[in-house]
Amino acid sequence: MSLALLPAAHAQEPSPPPPPNPMAEAAPAPVERLPPPPRAGGGALWFVAEKLAAAEIALGITPEQQAPWRGFAQAAIALAEAGGPGPRAGDETGGVERFKHMLEAQTRRGEAAAELSRALDTLGAALTPAQRATADRLLADLPPPFADPGGPRGAGAPPPPPPMGPPGDRDAASAPRFDKPSLFTR
Q: Per-residue confidence of the chain (186 residues) as pLDDT tens digits?
A: 555 555 555 556 667 777 776 555 555 555 555 444 444 446 778 888 899 999 999 999 999 999 999 999 999 999 888 865 666 666 656 788 888 888 888 999 999 999 999 999 999 999 999 999 999 999 888 777 655 545 554 555 566 666 666 655 555 555 555 555 555 444
**In whole angstroms, what separates CA 18 from the centre of its chain?**
51
- Cα–Cα–Cα angle for 86, 87, 90, rounded to 5 degrees: 155
User: Cβ distance 77 to 45 under 8 Å?
Assistant: yes
pTM of this structure? 0.54
Who contacts 77 (Cβ-Cβ below 8 Å, separation ≥6)? 45, 48, 49, 52
State how far the Cα of 44 lies from the Cα of 79, in Å rounded to an integer.
9
User: Cβ distance 41 to 80 under 8 Å?
Assistant: yes
